[in-house]
Homo-oligomer: A and B are copies of this chain.
Amino acid sequence: MAKVKVYVTLKPTLLDAQGRVVQNALNNLGYEEVDGVRMGKYIEIELKDNGHSVQERVDEMCRKLLANPVIENYRFEVSD
């Protein structure tokens, strides 16, 4: 059994509209020190052992389904 944490973020060159909205909301709530917000996804995956390389399989999952490689970066950590 392996546990994988995947982080998906928008590429830095792209405008993060959702992050901008959150930043404005925080500024308006009195948190004027907030200078930038980028929103991403955090995904926890549990995998049964089946002989495949966890690294390879999760990288494939990210490219095929979890992230959009055209506009997003991803990284992941395997534990257990």
The chain B residue sitting closest to A60, CB to CB, is: B31
Residue from B29, B42, B52 in contact with A42 in the complex, judged by beta carbons closer than 8 Å: B42
Contact between chains at B34 and A45 (CB < 8 Å): yes
Q: How many Å lie between the Cα of A19 and that of B46 in the bound state?
A: 11
By the criterion CB–CB under 8 Å, are B44 and A40 in contact?
yes
Give the chain B neighbours of A50 by CB distance below 8 A: 32-33
Chain B CB within 8 A of A14 CB: no
Instruction: State whether the Cβ of A15 lies closer than 8 Å to any Cβ in chain B.
Output: no
Contacts of A48 in B (CB 8 A): 33-35
A38 in contact (CB, < 8 A): yes
A38 vs B49: C-alpha distance when bound (angstroms): 19
